[in-house]
Amino acid sequence: RPGGRVRGPEPAEGAMALLKLSLMAFSFVFWAAGLTMLIIGLWAKMSLGTYLALSASDCPSAPAILLATGVAVIIWGFLGCFGAATEHRGLLRAYSAFLAVVLAAGLAAGLSALLYRQTLAQGFQEGLRQALLAYGEDDGVADALDALQRALSCCGVESYRDWLASPWGREQNGSVPLSCCRARRGCRRSPPDARSLHPDGCFGRVSAFVGTNMFYVATAALGLALLQLVGIVLACLLAARVPAHLVKNTWNRLTVL
């Protein structure tokens, strides 16, 4: 009206716009987290696959879990952003359900990492013992064990003496693999010179790594899981407001006409 006061956007429309922007921002962060998990999964698959093959644990492969989760999060992060932008009620509800599944999976993964880290370490210890027994018969296991001993500067399960009692060590007259050697001089003697070998066993190194880092991994998993509560609330609120919002806009258009 000429000379009249210009009316601003109604509070309901402002709240709707804020919800849309908040959910779109969350979906972008969620998508970025999925991309990060995918990259870490690819790195772990290429860099840690040989080490993880030594574990006797029945737990699923961590790189495979990261890859599958990363792909799913990337897809649903995009769909969540699309659902918020288009105000698609069904898609928003499906997105909130997926976030609830991620929340439950994250809580389970974080708690499992805290409760079963000792079991994981014991599975790796048993896998190392089996690898020593199969050394010289299985080239894949031998390559993985050699790579582990070089990377962690370790020798045997508990110490280099594990090799002396192994079938391969007895065949070599009480020798150790070159991957155990800090220096070549004195390393291939029978028995070998302990000063030329890595002094620590591989299980101690792996156990220390698990004990030091598993707590941080579990904390990060729990934190990311709880973050999903924000997305669930935003998606549910937006889905609940969509029908009334669309009906109101349609009524306004008819009134103008």
**What percent of the chain is predicted at pLDDT more than 70?**
70
**What is residue 6's predicted lDDT score, i.e. its pLDDT?**
47
Kindly report, residue by residue over 163-207, the tens digit of the pLDDT: 988 898 888 887 888 888 887 665 766 677 777 888 889 888 877
Tokens encoding 73: 């999060």
For the cut 50, the answer to whether the pLDDT of residue 251 exceeds it is no
For the cut 70, the answer to whether the pLDDT of residue 11 exceeds it is no
The span from the CA of 188 to the CA of 26, in Å, is 59
111 Cβ contact partners less than 8 Å away, ≥ 6 residues apart: 218, 222
For the cut 80, the answer to whether the pLDDT of residue 218 exceeds it is no
Kindly report, residue by residue over 141-172, the tens digit of the pLDDT: 888 888 888 888 899 999 888 998 889 888 88
As a whole number of Å, the CA-based R_g of the chain is 28
- Global pTM? 0.64
**What is residue 10's predicted lDDT score, i.e. its pLDDT?**
56
The span from the CA of 83 to the CA of 236, in Å, is 12
For the cut 70, the answer to whether the pLDDT of residue 80 exceeds it is yes
For the cut 60, the answer to whether the pLDDT of residue 2 exceeds it is no
Residue 217 binned pLDDT confidence (cut-offs 50, 70, 90): low
Closest CA to 123 of 60, 58, 186, 208: 58
Q: How far is CA 65 from CA 41, 45, 108, 154, 178, in A?
A: 8, 10, 13, 28, 34
**Rounded average pLDDT over 61-80:** 78
176 Cβ contact partners less than 8 Å away, ≥ 6 residues apart: 155, 156, 160, 163, 164, 169, 187, 188, 192, 197
Closest CA to 177 of 141, 139, 149: 149
Tokens encoding 222: 């729990």
Q: Residue 50, Cβ neighbours under 10 Å: how many?
A: 17
Residue 245 binned pLDDT confidence (cut-offs 50, 70, 90): very low
The burial of 61, by beta-carbon neighbours within 10 Å (0-12 exposed, 13-18 middle, 19 or more buried), is given as: middle
**Rounded average pLDDT over 77-87:** 83
According to DSSP, the residues that pair with 181 across neighbouring strands are 197
Tell me the HSE value of 8 on the side-chain side, using a 13 A CA sphere: 3
152 and 80 in contact (C-beta within 8 Å)? no
119 and 57 in contact (C-beta within 8 Å)? yes
Kindly report, residue by residue over 98-141, the tens digit of the pLDDT: 888 877 877 776 676 667 667 777 778 888 898 888 888 888 88
